[in-house]
Amino acid sequence: MTDEMEEIINEFITEAEESLERIEPLFVELEQKGEDKELLNDIFRSMHTIKGAAGFLGFQPIVDVAHSSENIMKKLRDGELAASKPLMDVILESVDMLRALLDHLKEKDDIEEDVAPLVQKLTDALSAATTEDATLPSDNNDAVSPDESVDEVFDVLPEPSEESIEIVKPVQESSAAGIPEPAALEECAPVQTKKDSPPKVKEGAQNLRVEVSRIDKVMDLAGEVVLVRNRLLNISNYFEQQYNNDEQAEILAETVSFLDRVTSDMQLAVMRMRMQPIKKVLSKFPRLVRDMSASVNKDVDLVISGEGTEVDKTVIEHIGDPLTHILRNSIDHGLEPTEDRIAKGKPAKGRVEINIYQKGNQVVIEILDDGKGMDVEKLKQKAVEKGLITAEEAHKMTDETATDIIFMPGFSTKKQATELSGRGVGMDVVKTNVSLLNGYVEVSTRKDVGTTFKLCIPLTLAIIQTLMVEVSGTKYAIPLTPIEETLMVSKDDIDNVTGQNVIVIRDRVCPLFELTNLLGIDSNGNGNGNGDNDSEKKYIIVISMGDKRFCIAVDRLVGQEEVVIKTLSGLDSSNSHVLGATITGDGKVVFILDVSSISRKMIGIAKGQ
Amino acid sequence: MYDLKMKVLVVDDFSTMRRIVKNLLKQIGFTNIDESEDGEDAYAKLKDGGFGFVVSDWNMPNLDGLGLLKKVREDAELKELPILMVTAEAEKEKVITAIQAGVNNYVVKPFTGELLKEKIDKIFDKVNAGG
């Protein structure tokens, strides 16, 4: 029973959080649309429901806060109060408080929030608003307000206790007792929701809530199955070649190829279980923009598209902070003050767009603003001043690479980071978080036109397509996503420009690195004496990370393989350039390379080392 | 008395609440419990038949508890179906409306398994006496 209780509590926390997430954007909508019964009722209902369930579970502070704000919402919904900013503000405050209370439940930290001041505030706000409204002359004072009419009914009807139920029939039959007919009663109590309201998309219909840990377990097992499948494929290939007329070998091959298909389907199905609409993360943004635009005094239009795009749960968990940070930055630093915009002939109202879409195996999140754009020269200058790069490096930088300066740890363009976008963390957090998700960030900016941040994140994190390569007799797996193409070039094709090897691919110059150098392994010493290293031909992998392109030279291309990432604890990916490890079809452990960290080291600005 | 094997429908838009109510019903001894997330869904399920009893929340999207109650009472096949309405303490006034619409009993949140049982006992005592 205690387990059951724990599960119920967890379910409550999740569901209540979802409710709050869902209603938060409604407040902003409410401010834009004015009084909207549907919206008001929606918010009321959520508060009401949270209160009800919390009551069962004995979470009194939640009950208190939800109850007080529900009281206000009820009056708003019933049209007894007019929605006003002060009222909305205190209700939003209670949403925040409910969140905090839920967090404490989740963390089991036993921290008690003092909700009394907020409850008092809510009560005060209600009574203030009520008296304000009461002073308004009311034309239809004759019309009895719903509450009063019901009170009258109470006078006639005995208190609706158990007993009242028993006597319902007789009372109902004698309508002479002064009880309005049902229809009449309904008329004077216009509380009910409209029956013919447009049917909403049913959310959560036919859903089963499953603990994430259970799904992860299935995911893990699916991963193991993938590994076994890969091994079986290898074995079956071997048998097919070895005994190519043997019936059993053929049957084995057939069976394994069936297993192959089923495994792929299963993998996909499990992956889908972990996917959620990114809306979950975005729902807090309208409010964030509302609060921010008020405090920096800029009028901002936030346009979101593609919020139904589904991404892995881990992405949902880690993308919130980077997105928030970029959004704050766009509003705080990106958009000009209204006067400046008008002076430039731009619309007075700034515009920030968030577009999310799926592109191949990736989810792309774009954050666009129509602000002033970044001043590249200024960025370089600041970076030099702060000792993040040398003047020479700054000089060599193209405009594209210069925008990456903002991601360098310890960089912030404003002398004093404002309270809003500052928060003691820089844009480097954005890059770090996105890299954690095996993704990358691109920035493009144009003066007076605006800045676009583009976050590209793989759909799933656990299973990836890789290219197996070999250097010095050791195999490595390189994630397929950033690989643009593979080439075989002859030594003559490699040029050297100021100490950097480059090759020209279709008229574009591309820097070339040896994988052995990148990984710090001796290229000739410990090779198994293939001696191919110095041959005339080289295998080249062309990597494209955002707008950067570079080539990695390897000894041999082994082939494409789907691998399951097993994270290696205690490994610093940015130094070792290793993302994790996997077990390949032939049962060997192979390192998976972290291309984004390689790219940062090679192409990114050398961080003063 | 009533048959604990009868099919009971729990209607609430908040799944935690459905689970809590289901648990309480299980404590009482009910074994055959189905759930719906709003009145519309509930009505469709009830129409499919086989239900002996309904516990419904009041505030729900699409079709609320009162709407469901009215629809059931207007339905020739379902009109005798016992319905227990779950309300919050602030909604006592609404109880009157529900009584008018023919609810069998109501219970105020939060409630215990004992109270729920008491209410169900009362409903079926009356239903059995009447029928």
Confidence category of residue A188, pLDDT binned at 50, 70, 90: very low
- Nearest chain A Cα distance for residue B63, angstroms: 7
Over the stretch A521-546, which tens digit does the pLDDT of each residue have? 776 544 444 444 456 788 999 988 76
Question: Taking CB atoms and an 8 Å limit, are A165 and B59 in contact across chains?
Answer: no
Are residue A559 and residue A444 in the same domain, yes or no?
no
What is the pLDDT at residue A310? 86
Looking at the predicted structure, is the pLDDT value of residue A409 above 90? no
Other Cβ atoms within 10 Å of A253 Cβ, number:
15
Lowest-confidence segment of A138-147, A328-337, A528-537, A544-553 by average pLDDT: A138-147
Over the stretch A205-261, which tens digit does the pLDDT of each residue have? 466 777 778 888 888 888 888 888 888 888 888 888 888 788 888 888 889 989 988
| Torsion sign (Cα): A47, A52, A57, A61 | positive
Indicate the residue of B37, B41, B59 with minimum beta-carbon distance to A45: B59
The verdict on B39 touching A (C-beta cutoff 8 Å) is: no
Substitution target from A62, A171, A192 for chain B, most B beta carbons within 10 A: A192
| Count of structural domains, chain A | 5
Are residue A444 and residue A488 in the same domain, yes or no?
no
Substitution target from A193, A194, A197 for chain B, most B beta carbons within 10 A: A193
Looking at the predicted structure, is the pLDDT value of residue B55 above 90? yes
d(CA A225, CA A300): 50
Confidence category of residue A608, pLDDT binned at 50, 70, 90: very low
What is the pLDDT at residue A176? 39
Are residue A248 and residue A298 in the same domain, yes or no?
no
Q: Which helix (H) or strand (E) holds A555?
A: none
Cβ–Cβ under 8 Å, residues A177 and A153: no
Report CA Rg, chain B.
13
d(CA B103, CA B66): 9
Over the stretch A437-474, which tens digit does the pLDDT of each residue have? 878 888 888 888 999 999 988 776 667 788 999 998 89
Mean pLDDT for the stretch of residues A571-579: 73
Mean pLDDT for the stretch of residues A310-334: 87
Mean pLDDT for the stretch of residues A187-191: 36
Confidence category of residue A572, pLDDT binned at 50, 70, 90: low
Residues of B in contact with A2 (CB under 8 A): none
Q: Is residue A407 part of a domain?
A: no
Closest-CA residue in chain B for A185?
B97
d(CA A592, CA A575): 14
Indicate the residue of A15, A182, A191 with minimum beta-carbon distance to B100: A182
What is the pLDDT at residue A524? 55
Of A499, A363, A333, the residue nearest A434 (C-alpha): A363
Domain positions in chain B: 7-130
Residue B108, token pair as written in the block: 């105020």
Are residue A299 and residue A344 in the same domain, yes or no?
yes
Over the stretch A149-187, which tens digit does the pLDDT of each residue have? 333 333 333 334 443 444 333 333 333 334 343 433 333
Residues of B in contact with A162 (CB under 8 A): 105, 122
Query: To which residue do tokens 């009505």 refer?
Result: B43
Buried/exposed code over A127-153 (b: 16+ C-beta within 10 A; e: otherwise): eebeeeeeeeeeeeeeeeebeebbeeb
What is the pLDDT at residue B94? 78
Question: Taking CB atoms and an 8 Å limit, are A16 and B16 in contact across chains?
Answer: yes
Half-sphere exposure for B128 (CA within 13 Å, toward CB)? 9
Q: Is residue A244 part of a domain?
A: yes
Other Cβ atoms within 10 Å of A473 Cβ, number:
12
Q: Is residue A190 part of a domain?
A: no
Mean pLDDT for the stretch of residues A421-440: 70
Confidence category of residue A609, pLDDT binned at 50, 70, 90: very low
The verdict on B104 touching A (C-beta cutoff 8 Å) is: yes
Are residue A442 and residue A481 in the same domain, yes or no?
no
d(CA A579, CA A435): 10
Helices A285-296 & A2-33 angle (0-180, nearest 10): 50
Q: Is residue A152 part of a domain?
A: yes
Are residue A234 and residue A368 in the same domain, yes or no?
no
Q: Which helix (H) or strand (E) holds A124?
A: helix A116-135
- The CA-based diameter of chain A, rounded to the nearest angstrom, is 107
d(CA A536, CA A511): 19
Residues of B in contact with A45 (CB under 8 A): 13, 59-61
Residue bearing the bigger pLDDT, A529 or A124: A124
Which residues, at least 6 apart from A407, have a Cβ–Cβ distance to it below 8 Å? Answer: A426, A427, A428, A430, A431, A441
Looking at the predicted structure, is the pLDDT value of residue A505 above 80? yes
Residues of A in contact with B62 (CB under 8 A): 197, 199-200, 202
d(CA A335, CA A341): 8
Confidence category of residue B126, pLDDT binned at 50, 70, 90: confident
Instruction: Please give the C-alpha separations between residue A568 and each of A211, A583, A589, in angstroms, as whole numbers.
Output: 25, 13, 12
Are residue A568 and residue A512 in the same domain, yes or no?
yes
Cβ–Cβ under 8 Å, residues A427 and A334: no
Question: Taking CB atoms and an 8 Å limit, are B97 and A168 in contact across chains?
Answer: no
Q: Is residue A395 part of a domain?
A: no
Substitution target from A46, A56, A159 for chain B, most B beta carbons within 10 A: A56
Highest mean pLDDT among A301-305, A527-531, B127-131: A301-305
CATH at A18 = 1.20.120.160
Instruction: Please give the C-alpha separations between residue A239 and each of A225, A232, A559, in angstroms, as whole numbers.
Output: 21, 10, 20
Closest-CA residue in chain B for A175?
B100
Residue bearing the bigger pLDDT, B44 or A360: B44
Mean pLDDT for the stretch of residues A132-149: 41
The phi, psi pair for A388, rounded to 5°, reads -80, -30
d(CA A65, CA A51): 8
What is the pLDDT at residue A224? 83
Lowest-confidence segment of A53-62, A527-536, B56-65 by average pLDDT: A527-536
CATH architecture, domain defined by B7-130: 3-Layer(aba) Sandwich (3.40)
Q: For residue A592, what are the β-bridge partners?
A: A477, A580
> With a threshold of 0.80, does the pTM exceed it?
no
Helices A60-77 & A85-107 angle (0-180, nearest 10): 150
Q: For residue A182, what are the β-bridge partners?
A: none
Mean pLDDT for the stretch of residues A104-117: 83
Question: Taking CB atoms and an 8 Å limit, are B16 and A153 in contact across chains?
Answer: no
Looking at the predicted structure, is the pLDDT value of residue A194 above 70? no
Residue range(s) defining the domain that contains residue A150: 141-174
| Torsion sign (Cα): A72, A78, A80, A82 | positive
Tabulate helix, strand, coil % of chain B (nearest 5): 50, 20, 30
CA angle A581, A582, A585 (to 5 degrees): 155
Question: Taking CB atoms and an 8 Å limit, are A15 and B61 in contact across chains?
Answer: no
Are residue A222 and residue A92 in the same domain, yes or no?
no
Question: Taking CB atoms and an 8 Å limit, are A185 and B94 in contact across chains?
Answer: no
Report CA Rg, chain A.
31
Residues of A in contact with B99 (CB under 8 A): 160, 164-165, 168, 172
The verdict on B5 touching A (C-beta cutoff 8 Å) is: no
A474-477 long-range contacts (CB < 8 A, ≥24 apart) are A474/A521, A475/A558, A475/A584, A475/A588, A475/A590, A476/A515, A476/A519, A476/A590, A476/A591, A476/A592, A476/A593, A477/A561, A477/A563, A477/A582, A477/A584, A477/A590, A477/A591, A477/A592, A477/A593
Buried/exposed code over A61-75 (b: 16+ C-beta within 10 A; e: otherwise): bbbbbbbbbbbbbbb
Mean pLDDT for the stretch of residues A97-117: 85
Q: Which 8-state DSSP code applies to residue A181?
A: P
Q: Specify the pairing of strand A508-514 against strand A537-545.
A: unpaired
Query: To which residue do tokens 């050791």 refer?
Result: A474
Question: Taking CB atoms and an 8 Å limit, are A52 and B23 in contact across chains?
Answer: no
- Nearest chain A Cα distance for residue B90, angstroms: 9
The verdict on B35 touching A (C-beta cutoff 8 Å) is: no
The verdict on B93 touching A (C-beta cutoff 8 Å) is: yes
Residues of A in contact with B88 (CB under 8 A): 48, 51-52
What is the pLDDT at residue A25? 83
Cβ–Cβ under 8 Å, residues B10 and B22: yes
Residues of B in contact with A157 (CB under 8 A): 96
Output the average pLDDT for chain A: 76
Q: Is residue A404 part of a domain?
A: no
d(CA A564, CA A569): 16
Indicate the residue of A55, A168, A185 with minimum beta-carbon distance to B109: A55
What is the pLDDT at residue B95? 81
What is the pLDDT at residue A547? 61
Question: Taking CB atoms and an 8 Å limit, are B59 and A53 in contact across chains?
Answer: no
Are residue A301 and residue A238 in the same domain, yes or no?
no
Residues of A in contact with B15 (CB under 8 A): 11, 15, 204, 207, 209
Closest-CA residue in chain B for A4?
B23
Q: How long is chain B?
A: 131
Over the stretch A34-53, which tens digit does the pLDDT of each residue have? 778 888 888 888 888 888 88
Cβ–Cβ under 8 Å, residues A544 and A482: yes
Q: Is residue A148 part of a domain?
A: yes
Residues of A in contact with B105 (CB under 8 A): 162, 165
Q: How long is chain A?
A: 609
The phi, psi pair for B38, rounded to 5°, reads -160, 175
Q: Is residue A387 part of a domain?
A: no
Question: Taking CB atoms and an 8 Å limit, are A56 and B110 in contact across chains?
Answer: yes
- Nearest chain A Cα distance for residue B21, angstroms: 10
The verdict on B113 touching A (C-beta cutoff 8 Å) is: no
Lowest-confidence segment of A534-543, A554-563, A564-573 by average pLDDT: A564-573
CATH at A337 = 3.30.565.10
Indicate the residue of A49, A151, A186 with minimum beta-carbon distance to B17: A49
What is the pLDDT at residue B69? 93
Residue bearing the bigger pLDDT, A128 or A99: A99
Residues of A annotated as part of the active site: 48, 70, 329
Half-sphere exposure for B21 (CA within 13 Å, toward CB)? 31
Question: Taking CB atoms and an 8 Å limit, are A8 and B106 in contact across chains?
Answer: no
Looking at chain A, the whole-number percentage of residues with pLDDT higher than 90 is 7
Mean pLDDT for the stretch of residues A591-603: 79
Q: Which of A458, A485, A520 is the last residue of a domain?
A: A458
Indicate the residue of A52, A182, A207 with minimum beta-carbon distance to B101: A182
Over the stretch A355-387, which tens digit does the pLDDT of each residue have? 998 876 678 999 999 998 888 888 888 888 887
The verdict on B63 touching A (C-beta cutoff 8 Å) is: yes
CATH at A467 = 2.40.50.180
Which residues, at least 6 apart from A253, have a Cβ–Cβ distance to it below 8 Å? Answer: A236, A237, A239, A240
Residues of A in contact with B67 (CB under 8 A): 192, 195
DSSP secondary structure string, A420-483?
TT-TT--THHHHHHHHHTT-EEEEEEETTTEEEEEEEEES-SSEEEEEEEEETTEEEEEESTTE
Lowest-confidence segment of A91-100, A191-200, A265-274, A356-365 by average pLDDT: A191-200
Are residue A241 and residue A266 in the same domain, yes or no?
yes
Question: Taking CB atoms and an 8 Å limit, are A150 and B41 in contact across chains?
Answer: no
Closest-CA residue in chain B for A50?
B14
Query: To which residue do tokens 């002064």 refer?
Result: A178
Residues of A in contact with B97 (CB under 8 A): 182, 185-186, 189
Are residue A18 and residue A97 in the same domain, yes or no?
yes
Cβ–Cβ under 8 Å, residues A154 and B29: no
